[in-house]
């Protein structure tokens, strides 16, 4: 193999008392949690872009990593990158990975050549998948990095860009289908605006709605069985993105008749940027049965941009999995790490250790969430709090009208008595498990 | 009269060169802007609560104002408050005002007495309106201040509170109708949660949807011709409010079949708290034809709570009115000042001067917006930018499918050429008018 | 006793496996951590104001609690409040409490009567302390709630307010001294501004500096041995507070010659509002040997105001105590809970349970921090990272000048080789302990 | 010449009624404002980096601009870039420009070659300055982009980096001195941390303090008469920067004995990121006589990162210049535009138009500020508000002690009467001028 991870062995599970930084302490794929293997609950995926395509730059500085597959403009080095990627998947025993087209093939500057290089590299990756245990969680098209996308993809003022985007998504859906991908994701980083002064917001939304309908139509045409997912984010790179948050996306899907066809890929970091907790976004999606998959990477609470860090706070992660498990768990979706090591973490070991840490944190969170569900304390508290709504009188009220209800209030002199919300007691309860 | 504003006369229009702090310099009700009287464009409303019911408290301090109608627990003083309010409306020549039930009547602690005091005070106010030029822009129910609402109104876990809320809204709709109100508003300050741990989000949303349907049904039953409006706000007092922002509200309305029945009352300060510009919220509402009315009060950009200050930045206000005018202007809605003087602004003069300043800033903003529309520069720039979509080929693409478009891209070797977004040039253009 | 906590017994320590919501699971006062009793490390304090004086109001709603000592305008009820407070201290076995003058005595509207009621109530409290195990961590003056303070205390444009503030602080220092308080705190909630338009910032800072010097002089005069502490907060209630954050306060103290006389009382929630992590603020204070005491109450990351919630995230709390322990631990300071139950948590049980939860979270955090220190992994990593600075060549550089160093760089062709920052590995390390 | 700006002529002043997008409407260099030429008040500078070195990338996308001097790794193209830069300075009639070493010379990967290319390009630029009217406002060293700086410059854990930084700053000070620069700036983008886990904050601050002392010593050694300036920014690229805001920098300077040697270069966008208004930062600097120069580029209020946009809001800019003029105006400092066109603004015309717009907005702001000063309304209001402090009794209080003051309060029964802060009236006043 490439030798990039020389000296780093397959990561063993050694249990909570291990002090080996290159071992799992909590993630034990075969451990049964609520009747299912832990691996099958969590369905971890490694993100190709952050681990292999990102070079360590930020808005004030350039490349810090030095990888043998740089510069990334050549098919030979793209294959070397794939070799190293699968080496890492094996080291981690990662069940899934995810890619953008631009992560895996060099950009050729025109559609025809992008298509043929995508074909070539996905053939190559497909062969590697034959002998690897790692499957494709989802594929997606990068329609935000190249300058052609600077004013949007499906929402671009130029119809040529819309067309280029349509062709690109078709090619990525085909490639995802070919590789047995379990979902296809669309993230609209440039589907938004820098200034309303030059933007026809209504028209752009209509174009985006039409585009997404085409995606759904094509999915059915080719018999792709996976889920189509959109990914909310409020801003960055755009000043304002149309897929602001879960509620906005759900409203959009409903407007364009897609509420039964498309689900959400939710990211913790994006939730934070939109002013929400991650469990809020999950609960909103669950309430409309639109939870698809998650990106379990945290944002720094003191930074106003997307830091895409590996999760490291078990209590927070546990609440996310609590809502996921309560909704029935991840189905075609998984737990993707849309996470990158810090740009100072330049060693190959950092790449592996960061994933170990993230996977362990998720495993602890999952087990805590399962324990809370099995204990039933939160659910029981909810039942008690909303018990009044189980009465016939309460159900009658919901089917009534303002005038009749007003008469009931007057006749019965209804005067509600406040009841404690017991928030701290519930928070203490959670702390028994995390 | 009450003598509260002794020494303060009806505010004259004196033109831009006036240095009189108690005169309008820009707001000239009869001046014609784009073919309509300025007053009829702006439709200013004074908010009863901030000017007359708020006592100057904040989370760390109590009452700073000393008004002759304090304490506000008595019908006699409620009438004195109304006298002073109408005196202020006259001084300002305000065409409209707005109220919550709790602003105008003392809270009696039970529904029957709240109803009878509401009847009495709205009779009293109705008489005053006979001789005043000030009309009712909208009425609303305060379902967030009394402790009975601490866990929500229509979303309360206790059905008794839902019932009390239904009766209360009925009484306020009746009162609004009686006084000729042009809209009825619902703001759900406690329709949300403090912690998801004790919240059934899906059930609460369903109850809120059902409640709003009852409101619409009752509107039609009593023949109220005004608009029903909901008011987005992301948080405060709740950690999370269900009516987060315009897009969230529109999605909610669509889900519960209300998209043709309910419009939005948008507030600048709430937009800021939700991470949006005010013009964004207006543009979102306009794109779905759901703009109802506005609350033109700013938030401090450096404060994380609702500061409810009078507007004072003309360039920002101009962009808001630009989007409003482009959409056809305010119809039953108006420009409400959901704004309060600072708690250190304890003099009667401060109440008047703050409104003068706000009205003047809006007048300048309106005139600048009208000038931009009449000049047509922004619209022409939009037309140029999106011109590609006027071609038949572009329209065909929208009606096509991914596969066909991909073939076109391949056949014609479509390779889009980026075009400048010209943001700074457009910003400079706007600065010619503000 | 008052019977307010009827049915609630002294909180026992039952260990981690307990499911009793009214027992400690982690806080065991006598357990030895790093050679010292846990109680002596943590030095917990109950805040009188949030638990007994705050009535449940927020900016959009009034009182939700119903306590037998309301309304709080009478000495008899002030004593009942003290009775209940000490009952709670006993139930919790709290080693300390803290107060503002306005929490413990009714406000009389003038200084002379405020002074005599303060004397009376502190005599009463002093008697209770004779038989209670609870001591006074610190006293302070509330110079932000009454309308006289609306434009500041020591920074007020009116010298009469400065004088009233001086007299008030003297009275509170005397009372703190009388009760054996171990520190005296100043929090300047209104020492700041609403608008720079009416503010002479330089003059106000000079007055605040002079005021604080008077406080220090008076401390020495009366022989008070405790620490004088100031408490950083960026804003709220003021738009901008002068004591913005730790670094700002330290700069202020240095400017006015107080760097050896005054230390900081740091609060997690205030750190968050200022854009910092709590451990950042602690590290900044420690770097200048100015850490005095802490308020261990969290802010909600999604709310832009001070939510003053009990801590519930062990990993975060552990990092705070790690920096505290590394600096030698709390000395005269302690762990105050400047925390309030949510306004929906209206039951007496909520008051107790919230403190149990907070104390348990801190105990877990402390033990994790101690374990990290004893393991030494973080310190060893720091030593390795900065090892270069231990060489003589490096020390010479620090004592050199730009020109000489430039010559060395040229002569030796110094070209630094980047080294991994190992952030994720260190984060994983921490997760072994929390 | 290079022909890059072909078709764009020297920008004329045409007055407010001009509709020419390539003319000044407000910036008239020779117009006298408060007795001084407008040019001499504003002292505009063009930033070399944003206009000529930045290629249009952001965290999610690469280069959008296509300039003839790309790639920027060659001395020949560096000279072409300088040619175009001076062409632009002439078109704008810009009195000043600013640079980092890395903007003007290609990075050579080692100090010796960086030094010789810096010498060569500054000779070339020096020759151009002979025939141009554009002078150097300040020079600075880019110690954040190259990977060697990834863990800091003067605060790096590796002494070799400290040495490389010292040599680099020496070379940039020499170059600035050679070109007659009027200031030398240090911005510590990487002087901070990503995680406290790997950071010795106290040691790093000491190194930074020592480094800055070396800079001051070298300034005196070479006889550089300009000001040494540090530039506050709270974060980005670092999670936390040591030079957080004005107050933090001033505290730092005082700690390391530099308060009389170093001043501040304040940026509007950085103020916003730190939670302050720009006028706050200016007022803080002025209060300690540490205002040096300004970067007049705005941040988007809805974006959590540094957007570095040209100013376009006259009311905000006017308040900034009001505080500057009140303090005596800019001395060696100037008004730098640390501003970049949006990455979609790819045309040469955008570069010129953006500067025209920024300069016009500043000119309007300056004139409004001057008019407010000449009118004197704000100063008079301040004098009235603080008049109490002019009495002898008030001055005595400041020189007194707590005990004496308490006796006065008791004896005279001092009971302050609140006075209106008149905030809205003052805001209205400002709106007469902007």
pLDDT tens, residue by residue, A117-128: 999 999 999 999
Query: Which tens digit of pLDDT belongs to each residue from A336-347?
Result: 999 999 999 999
Interface test with A, best of C65, C269, C425 (most A CBs within 10 A): C425
How confident is residue C255, by pLDDT bands cut at 50, 70 and 90?
Answer: very high
Whether residues A405 and A331 share a domain: the answer is: no
* Residue B126 confidence (pLDDT) above 80: yes
Q: CA-to-CA distance for C185 and C172, rounded, in angstroms?
A: 10
Distances (CA, A) of D35 to A378, D30, D194, D323: 72, 11, 49, 17
Q: Is B237:B202 a contact under the CB 8 Å cutoff?
A: no
Domain count, chain A: 2
- Which domain-ending residue is among B356, B375, B394? B375
Chains within contact range of chain A (3+ C-beta pairs < 8 Å): B, C, D
Strands D36-37 and D32-33 turn out to be antiparallel
The tokens 């846990």 sit on which residue? C38
DSSP characters over C61-85: B------TT-S--SHHHHHHHHHHH
Nearest to C420 among A310, A346, A356 (CB): A346
A199 within some domain: yes
- C139 and C249 belong to one structural domain: yes
- How do strand B36-37 and strand B32-33 relate by DSSP bridges? antiparallel
Sign of the dihedral defined by the CA atoms of residues D122, D123, D124, D129, in that order = positive
- Could you tell me if residue B9 is inside a domain? no
**pLDDT value at position B108?**
87
Same domain, D142 and D170: yes
Active-site choice (C100, C207, C280, C355): C100
List D26, D50, D101, D103, catalytic entry? D103
* CB-CB under 8 Å, C345 with A424: yes
Contact criterion met (CB < 8 Å) for A428 and C360: yes
CATH number of the domain within which C360 lies: 3.20.20.150
A182 and A316 within one domain = yes
pLDDT at A30 over 80: yes
Range of the domain at B410: 380-431
Per-residue pLDDT at A2: 58
Please give the Cα distance from A407 to B81 (Å, whole number).
30
Helix (H, G, I), strand (E, B) or coil at D52: helix
Do residues A134 and A272 share a domain? yes
Q: Does D1 score more than 60 pLDDT?
A: no
Give chain A positions within 8 Å (CB) of D63: 147
The verdict on residue C4 lying in a domain is no
In the structure encoding, which two tokens stand for residue C396, read together? 């010479």
CA distances from B174 to A402, B136, B293, C29 (A): 11, 13, 20, 61
Q: How many CB atoms lie within 10 A of CB D59?
A: 15
How many Cβ atoms sit within 10 Å of the Cβ of residue D277?
A: 21
Q: What residues of B are in contact with residue A170 (Cβ under 8 Å)?
A: 402-403, 405-406
Q: Pick from A167, A255, A402: which is nearest to B214 by CB?
A: A402
> Residue D2: pLDDT band by 50, 70, 90 thresholds?
low
User: Are C349 and C386 found together in one domain?
Assistant: no
Q: How far, in whole angstroms, is CA D245 from its chain's centroid?
A: 13
pLDDT of residue A44: 98
- Tell me the pLDDT of chain B averaged across its residues: 97
> Reduced to 3 states, what is the DSSP secondary structure of residue B194?
coil
- A165 pLDDT band (50/70/90 cuts)? very high
Over residues A187-213, the mean pLDDT reads: 98
Do residues D271 and D326 share a domain?
yes
Question: Which one of the listed residues B26, B41, B50, B100 is annotated catalytic?
Answer: B100
Nearest by Cα to A285 from A227, A361, A213, A237: A227
Are C274 and D275 within 8 A, CB to CB?
yes
**What confidence category does residue D286 fall into, taking pLDDT thresholds of 50, 70 and 90?**
very high
Closest CA–CA distance from residue A284 to any residue of chain B (Å)? 7
pLDDT grade for A108, boundaries at 50, 70 and 90: confident
- Write out chain C residues lying below 8 Å of D257, CB-based: none
Q: Verify that D208 and D346 share a domain, yes or no.
A: yes
* C283 contacts D201? CB cut-off 8 A: yes
Q: What is chain D's mean pLDDT, rounded?
A: 97
Q: Which chain A residue's Cα is nearest to D195? A: A342
Tell which of D349, D375, D401 closes a domain.
D375
Q: Model pTM greater than 0.95?
A: yes
* Per-state percent for chain C, helix, strand, coil, to nearest 5: 50, 10, 40
Question: Best residue in C144, C344, C345, C347 to probe B by mutation, most B CBs within 10 Å?
Answer: C344
**Which residues of C have a CB under 8 Å from any CB of A?**
19, 21, 25, 64, 272, 275-277, 301-302, 310, 312-316, 341-342, 344-347, 349-350, 353-354, 356-357, 360-361, 418-425, 427-432, 434
> Chain C partners of D426 at a C-beta cutoff of 8 Å?
195, 197-198
Helix or strand (DSSP H, E) at C295: strand C291-295
CB contact under 8 A, C344 and B194: yes
Give the closest residue to D362 by CA, choosing from D296, D427, D300: D296
Contacts of A244 in chain D (CB under 8 A): none
pLDDT at res. C128: 98
Q: CB–CB of C397 and D162 under 8 A?
A: yes
Q: Which residue of C has its CA nearest to B147?
A: C64
How many helices (H) and strands (E) chain D has is answered by 16, 12
Are C166 and C119 a contacting pair, CB within 8 Å?
no
Neighbours of chain B (3+ CB pairs under 8 A): A, C, D
Same domain for D97 and D223?
yes
Query: Pick from A217, A285, A213, A212: which is nearest to A246 by CA?
Result: A285
- How close B230 comes to chain C (CA, Å)? 18
Q: Give D107's pLDDT tier (boundaries 50, 70, 90).
A: confident
Provide the pLDDT for residue C209: 98
Question: Smallest Cα–Cα separation from C265: which of C166, C188, C191, C152?
Answer: C188
Ranges of beta strands (E only) in A4-87 are 32-33, 36-37, 44-47
Domain boundary among B327, B351, B375: B375
Whole-angstrom distance, CA of residue B279 vs CA of residue B286: 10
- For A304, name the nearest residue in chain D, comparing CA atoms only: D304
CB pairs under 8 A between A and D: 99
pLDDT digits (tens, 9 = 90+) for B37-85: 999 999 999 999 999 999 999 999 999 999 999 999 999 999 999 999 9
B interface test, pick of D425, D426, D430, D433 with most B CB neighbours within 10 Å: D425
Q: Is residue A278 part of a domain?
A: yes
* B360 contacts D428? CB cut-off 8 A: yes
Residues of B in contact with A290 (CB under 8 A): none
Among C58, B149, B211, which Cα is nearest to A416's? B149
Instruction: Examine the residue annotation and report whether C100 is marked as an active-site residue of this protein.
Output: yes
> Which residue of C lies nearest to B190 if distances are taken between CA atoms?
C60
With cut-offs at 50, 70 and 90, classify the pLDDT of residue A107. confident
- Whether D223 is covered by a domain: the verdict is yes
Shortest distance between the Cα of D300 and any Cα of chain A, in A, equals 8
Give the strand pairing for B183-186 and B192-193: unpaired
D317 and D410 in a single domain? The answer is no
Is D411 one of the catalytic residues? no
Q: What is the mean pLDDT of residues D113-134?
A: 97
User: How far apart are the two ends of chain C, measured CA to CA in Å?
Assistant: 40
Q: What is the pLDDT of residue B423?
A: 98
What is the rounded distance in angstroms from the CA atom of residue B270 to the CA atom of residue B266?
8
- Grade residue C287 by pLDDT with cuts at 50, 70 and 90: very high
C21 within domain boundaries? no
Q: Is the confidence at residue C340, as pLDDT, over 60?
A: yes
Whether residues C406 and D280 touch (CB distance < 8 A) is answered with: no
Mean pLDDT of A316-329: 98
Whether A119 contacts A108, CB under 8 Å: no
Are D371 and D408 contained in the same domain? no
Mean pLDDT, residues A28-41 taken together: 98
B62: nearest CB among C147, C305, C306: C147
Inter-chain CB pairs, B–D, below 8 Å: 125
- Residue B294 and residue B229: Cα distance in Å, rounded? 10
Calculate how close chain B gets to A187, using CA atoms only, in Å. 18
How many C-alpha atoms does B12 have within 13 Å on its Cβ side? 6
Q: Which of B19, B114, B209, B102 is nearest to D372 (CA)?
A: B19
Is residue C22 in some structural domain?
Answer: no
Model pLDDT, residue D3:
86
Inside any domain, residue B13: no
Tokens in use for D383? 């004098």
Looking at chain A, which residue has its C-alpha nearest residue D309? Answer: A194
Our CA-based measurement puts residue B281 at a distance from the nearest CA of chain D, in whole angstroms, of: 13
Instruction: Report whether pLDDT(C2) > 70.
Output: no
- Residues D50, D100, D276, D280: which is the catalytic one? D100
One domain, residues B258 and B209:
yes
**The pairing of beta strand A262-267 with beta strand A227-230:** parallel
Over residues D74-100, the pLDDT tens digits come to: 999 999 999 999 999 999 999 999 999
């Amino acid at each position: 193999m490439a030798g990039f991870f020389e000296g780093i062995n397959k990561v063993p599970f050694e249990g909570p008392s291990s002090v080996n930084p290159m071992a799992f302490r909590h993630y034990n794929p075969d451990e049964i949690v609520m009747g299912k293997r832990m691996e099958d609950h969590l369905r971890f995926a490694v993100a190709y872009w952050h681990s292999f395509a990102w070079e360590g730059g930020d808005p004030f500085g350039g490349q810090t990593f030095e990888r043998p597959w740089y510069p990334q403009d050549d098919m030979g080095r793209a294959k070397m990158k794939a070799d190293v990627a699968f080496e890492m998947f094996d080291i981690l025993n990662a069940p899934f990975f995810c890619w953008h087209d631009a992560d895996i093939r060099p950009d050729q500057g025109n559609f025809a050549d992008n298509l043929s290089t995508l074909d070539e590299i996905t053939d190559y990756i497909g062969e590697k998948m034959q002998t690897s245990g790692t499957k494709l969680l989802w594929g997606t098209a990068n329609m935000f990095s190249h300058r052609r996308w600077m004013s949007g993809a499906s929402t671009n003022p130029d119809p040529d860009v819309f067309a280029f985007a349509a062709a690109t998504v078709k090619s990525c859906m085909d490639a995802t289908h070919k590789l047995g991908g379990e979902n296809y994701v669309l993230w609209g980083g440039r589907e938004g605006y820098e200034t309303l002064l030059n933007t026809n917001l209504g028209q752009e939304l209509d174009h985006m709605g039409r585009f997404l309908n085409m995606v759904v139509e094509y999915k059915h045409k080719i018999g792709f069985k996976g889920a189509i997912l959109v990914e909310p984010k409020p801003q960055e790179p755009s000043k304002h993105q149309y897929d602001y948050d879960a509620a906005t996306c759900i409203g959009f899907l409903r407007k364009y008749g897609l509420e039964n066809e498309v689900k959400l890929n939710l990211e913790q970091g994006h939730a934070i940027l939109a002013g929400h907790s991650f469990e809020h976004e999950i609960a909103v999606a669950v309430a409309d049965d639109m939870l698809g998959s998650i990106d379990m990477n945290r944002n720094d609470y003191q930074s106003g941009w997307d830091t895409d860090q590996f999760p490291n706070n078990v209590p927070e992660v546990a609440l996310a999995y609590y809502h996921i498990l309560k909704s029935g768990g991840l189905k075609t979706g998984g737990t993707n790490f849309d996470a990158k090591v810090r740009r100072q973490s330049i060693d190959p070991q950092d790449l592996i250790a960061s994933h170990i840490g993230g996977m362990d944190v998720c495993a602890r969170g999952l087990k805590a969430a399962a324990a809370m569900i099995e204990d039933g304390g939160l659910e029981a508290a909810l039942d008690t709090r909303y018990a009044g709504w189980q009465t016939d009188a309460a159900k009658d009220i919901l089917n009534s009208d303002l005038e009749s209800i007003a008469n009931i209030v007057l006749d019965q002199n209804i005067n509600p008595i406040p009841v404690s919300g017991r928030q701290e007691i519930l928070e203490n309860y959670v702390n028994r498990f995390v």
